[in-house]
Amino acid sequence: MRITHLFILLNFLIFCGCKPSERHLSKIEGKQIAITDSLPLNPEIESFVKPYRDNIEKDLDSVLAYSADTYTKNDGEFNTALGNFMADAVYEEANPIFKQRTGKNIDMVLLNHGGIRSILSKGNVTKRTAFQLMPFENSIVVVALKGYQVNALTNYLSRSQRAHPVSKLKLILDQEFNVSEARINEKEIIEDSTYFVATNDYLYNGGDSMSFFKPNDSVYVLNYKIRNALIDNFKRKDTIAPVRDNRFIQQK
């Protein structure tokens, strides 16, 4: 055995032979080290990173479409132009993928009001716009729900009283916020029928207390991010001009 190995072994045996009272943690200290612009740049690292950073910035700022106005997620009580656009974009981009894989169509889309993280400003729409609207890595899933579970979904929407984005669903509330009418693709919801509901993985896993997605008949993971669906939708449209409509309203 080499001397170094013997030395390590002896130290290990001495440490293990110590009594518990002879070794103990006295205290743990820590301090915050702020990372600010005042920290000096490393010229070599900066020169290496700069071409990649410039290329990413150029890609993010590439113009994809034009927004006819400024839209926010708070411009309506139960449905908003921005929310309608996002839900419709998910349907338009995800349904062909789902149809190709399953031979079936998505029946409706449900997203969440809190998932919209920015306004859509009037003017040029870029990839950066999509990252601002949807900075999370949420992906689209399609869940097969029975009609009675869809009814639980509509009851959730009536109780939440928020403009959660929906597409292909028409929901009318009475003055006490009860569901007065609920239709998917202009048809009444049948309890024993199966409906394919597109949403994001966050909501599917119970986010925003949306517990009605489980259990289910089946779930289809499209491996397609909400953000990428927005980018693809921007690319296909010259002008973005969504509107508020009657898809989710309250009778007055």
Which CATH class name applies to 63-250? alpha beta
Cis status of the peptide bond prior to 20, with omega within 30 of 0: no
**Around Cβ 229, how many Cβ atoms within 10 Å?**
24
pTM of the model: 0.82
Whether residue 85 contacts residue 242, with contact meaning beta carbons closer than 8 Å, is answered with yes
Check residue 6 and give its pLDDT. 47
Per the prediction, the chain carries an average pLDDT of 90
Q: At residue 11, does pLDDT exceed 70?
A: no
SS3 content of the chain, % helix, strand, coil (to 5): 40, 25, 35
Q: Which of 183, 175, 170 is nearest to 251 (CA)?
A: 175
pLDDT tens readout for residues 114-142:
999 999 999 999 999 999 999 999 999 99
Q: Which of 11, 14, 247 is nearest to 111 (CA)?
A: 247
pLDDT tens readout for residues 137-182:
999 999 999 999 999 999 999 999 999 999 999 999 999 999 999 9
pLDDT tens readout for residues 21-75:
566 777 888 888 777 777 787 888 888 887 777 778 877 889 999 999 999 999 9
Check residue 21 and give its pLDDT. 55
Interior/surface letters 97-136, b for 16+ CB within 10 angstroms, e for the rest: bbeeeeeeebbbbbbbeebbebbbeeeebbbbbbbbbbee
Q: Which two tokens stand for residue 173?
A: 């509330």
